Amino acid sequence: MMHRVLLVFMAAAGVSVLGLPRLEASPPGGEPCAAPLQWEGRWVMYDHSTGRNSRAAVSYDGLNQRIRVLQQHKKHTPCQRFFEYIYLYQSMVMFQIDQKTKDCSKIALTEDWDPFDIPANSTFEEQYFIGGPGDDVEVQEWSDRKPARQHETWVGVYTLKDCYPVQETYTRNSSVTTSTRFLNLQLGISDPDVFTPPTTCQSARPERMLELEC
Tell whether 152 is covered by a domain: yes
For residue 63, give its domain range.
38-203
Dump pLDDT digits (tens) for 67-126: 999 999 876 667 788 999 999 999 999 999 999 999 999 999 999 999 999 999 999 999
Report CA-CA distances (Å) from 56 to 43, 52, 144.
Answer: 6, 13, 27
Tell whether 19 is covered by a domain: no
- CATH number of the domain bearing residue 62: 2.50.20.30
For the cut 60, the answer to whether the pLDDT of residue 194 exceeds it is: yes
Please, are residues 184 and 165 in contact by the beta-carbon 8 Å criterion?
A: no
Alpha helices in the chain (DSSP H): none
Beta strands 154-159 and 165-172 are antiparallel
For the cut 50, the answer to whether the pLDDT of residue 20 exceeds it is: no
Dump pLDDT digits (tens) for 149-167: 567 889 999 999 999 999 9
Tell whether 8 is covered by a domain: no
Question: Considering its fold, how many domains does the chain have in total?
Answer: 1
